[in-house]
Amino acid sequence: MKRTLSTAVLAALSLGLLAAPAHAQNKNGYVMVTFLSGIDYWKDAYRGMQAAGKELGVSTTYTGSVNYELNDNIATLEQVIARKPAGILLTVMNADALRPTIDKAIKAGIPVVTFDADSPRSGRYAFLGTGNERAGAEAAKYLCSKVGSGDVAISSVPAQQNHVERRNGFTNYLKASCPKLKVVAVTDDKTDSSVAAREMASVLQSRPNIKGIFVTDAAGGVGVAQAVKEARLSGKVKIVSFDYDQGTLDNIDKGVIDATVAQGTWQMGYWGLKMLDSVAKNRISSVGNWRTAGISPLPPMIDTGVSIITKANSKSWRK
């Protein structure tokens, strides 16, 4: 079922995401555009954008398509471009499909910086996101410190490139630095907790030597935690998840999930806006005129890093 832009805005309002300072009525403020706009994941990115906006004295707005629907995502971006904002901080649902609309914004003089998910062949000025292979390696490093040997399962989304990179980083680290841990099963959780629980329950039943599980998304992590609890293996099977939400943090505090790899979403929003503002206000002077020189004014890619959340520091990540 498709949703309109106004529905997306109402959904964001209900979550308090459109809150902005009093001067936010400036029509030429900066806009963050996402898809699945109601999920918790984007809140921290927008919080970072708001913090930078306050420092710079500029207005910020959040919007996005409610569903995982490409046409809605493109329509939302088109409508934002029509408002002629000072700049757009965009997460990209489909790199090639969004490319023409991104280029349309650039040609209209509206700077675009992408975050979390990129469109590298577009004219966007920069991308801020997670080095997913390195993040997967950090997950493997943590799991290896807790489990010396045995079988390992992975709950992931095999079709998505960022999840592929996380798995590659994880498995490559184990092969190089922790060879006594062997990956014996990979399930597709489809970013759905119930699917993750069902698939991992089957693995735990057929593979009694599972000692650790790596999950490449938060919804999957919550589902895997449920499967481990129902198998009465809490504490015996170590879980390292990815990203964080209320369910993930609750499971960490209860000792079911041992750790999760948190992306630098606040950093994406904060530095993303500062980069946009530098371009919009022509503060870049790497050469006499970067536009006529035909060069990008910003670094093309920035890794915003990851942090490991455990029971010892989980309170710092609460609201």
Tell me the C-alpha distance between 142 and 239, whole Å.
10
Q: What is the pLDDT along the chain (319 residues), one digit of tens a residue?
A: 333 333 333 344 333 334 333 333 345 699 999 988 988 889 999 999 999 999 999 999 999 999 888 899 999 999 999 999 999 999 998 889 999 999 999 999 999 999 998 899 999 999 999 999 999 999 999 999 999 899 999 999 887 778 899 999 999 999 999 999 999 999 999 889 999 999 999 999 999 999 999 999 999 999 999 999 999 999 999 999 999 889 999 999 999 999 999 999 999 999 999 999 999 998 888 777 888 888 888 999 999 999 999 999 999 988 6
Q: Based on the domain organization, do 206 and 63 belong to the same domain? A: no
Q: Based on the domain organization, do 109 and 226 belong to the same domain? A: no
Tell me the C-alpha distance between 82 and 84, whole Å.
5
Flag whether 209 is in a domain: yes
Q: Based on the domain organization, do 72 and 191 belong to the same domain? A: no
| Structural domain count, the chain | 2
What CATH number is associated with residue 166? 3.40.50.2300
- Model confidence, pTM: 0.77
* Alpha helix stretches (DSSP H) within the chain: 5-14, 41-56, 70-82, 95-107, 132-146, 161-177, 193-206, 218-230, 246-253, 265-280, 290-293
Q: Based on the domain organization, do 220 and 107 belong to the same domain? A: no
Strand partners, 234: 237
Flag whether 290 is in a domain: no
Flag whether 74 is in a domain: yes
For residue 253, the enclosing domain spans: 132-262+311-317
Flag whether 299 is in a domain: no
Flag whether 229 is in a domain: yes
Q: Based on the domain organization, do 80 and 198 belong to the same domain? A: no
Q: Based on the domain organization, do 124 and 269 belong to the same domain? A: yes
Token output for 110: 């509206």
Tell me the C-alpha distance between 123 and 107, whole Å.
9
Q: Dihedral sign, CA of 121, 104, 270, 37? A: negative
Q: Based on the domain organization, do 271 and 199 belong to the same domain? A: no
Flag whether 289 is in a domain: no
